[in-house]
Amino acid sequence: MTDQTAAGLRIRDLRVVFDGFVAVDGVDLDVPRGDLRFLIGPNGAGKTTIVDAVTGLSKATGSVQFGEQELLGREVHRIARAGIGRTFQTATVFEELTVLQNLDIAAGAGRGFARLLRRRRGVPEAVERVLGTIHLADATDRLAGTLAHGQKQWLEIGMLLVQDARLLLLDEPVAGMSHEERDATGALLQEIADGDRTVVIVEHDMEFLRKFARTVTVLHQGRVLSEGSVAQVQADPKVQEVYLGTAADAAVVAEGVDGVDGAGVDGVKVEG
């Protein structure tokens, strides 16, 4: 049996260059299986670009392995088939179809579009299980467009689960959610990671991060600045200097302050 790191995401010397601008500059990153990893950093730090490279949306050099599979150079659909799932800031569900029909399409159940529109007699066990996980078991016949904002995000996550995605890459999954929706989403993501999947989140909501992150990677100018638990990252002088100015200023501001809060690192807003 492979160890957790081998079965997770392993990135080595990842570089992404756009018209001469180095967006990602030699990043090494290990996300073990079952981790709930948060990527944070200022605007232009390279967070979303790394996710784009992993999923084949941005050309990159270096190595990106998931388990024993090399992902760089593969087409987007082949990366998805390798068990990699991705969401964006705005949920991309089929709003004119029901919750169940959305999951059916994602699952590739082999049913034609016309048959998808018909009311079905039963729900496949795998789909029913996912419906329970994403808290939509009582909403199978509701049109996706009528769901609340948070529910749409849960449905999109469910669409990845029915495809048996083993690595979920989520871009600001709680943006625009209520406090209750954020907590429910955090609990959902914890459950998914506990189920032996790996979850990587690009996030700006520091309260959400502090409550649910297992590990944090801080990016700055296309490189990894710091990594560890929330407590380790917020205590790192390099992180404090990036968000607070000079190291001396950071030490003064950080003294007696709890650390990462809803506004950012030691009260300074974290931009994306």
| Residue pair 47/219 in contact by the 8 Å Cβ criterion | yes
Asked, for residue 241, whether it belongs to a domain, the answer is: yes
Q: Has residue 116 been placed in a domain?
A: no
Angle at 110 between CA 106 and CA 111, to 5 degrees: 95
Contact 246, 257 (CB under 8 A): no
Give per-residue pLDDT as tens, 5-43. Answer: 446 999 999 999 999 999 999 999 999 999 999 999 988
For residue 112, being part of any structural domain is answered with no
Domain presence at residue 207:
yes
pLDDT above 80 (res 123): no
Q: Does 250 map to a domain?
A: yes
Percentage of the residues of the chain whose pLDDT score is greater than 70: 82
Residue 103 falls inside a structural domain: no
Is residue 75 predicted with pLDDT exceeding 90? yes
Total number of domains in the chain: 1
Which whole-number Å values give the CA distances from 264 to 36, 171, 181, 182, in the listed order? 19, 18, 20, 17
Query: 42-65 burial string, b = 16+ CB within 10 Å, else e?
Result: beebbbbbbbbbbbbebebebebe
pLDDT in tens, 100-121: 999 988 987 445 555 555 555 6
In a domain, 15, yes or no: yes
pLDDT per residue as tens digits for the range 164-200: 999 999 999 999 999 999 999 999 999 999 988 999 9
On whether residue 10 sits in a domain, the answer given is: yes
* Torsion on CA atoms 89, 223, 68, 9, rounded to nearest 10: -40
Q: What is the CATH number of the domain that holds 62?
A: 3.40.50.300
Domain of residue 168, residue span:
4-93+147-269
Window from 44-53, 88-97, 118-127, 128-137 with minimum mean pLDDT: 118-127
Q: Which residue type occupies 163?
A: Q
What pLDDT is recorded for position 42?
Answer: 87
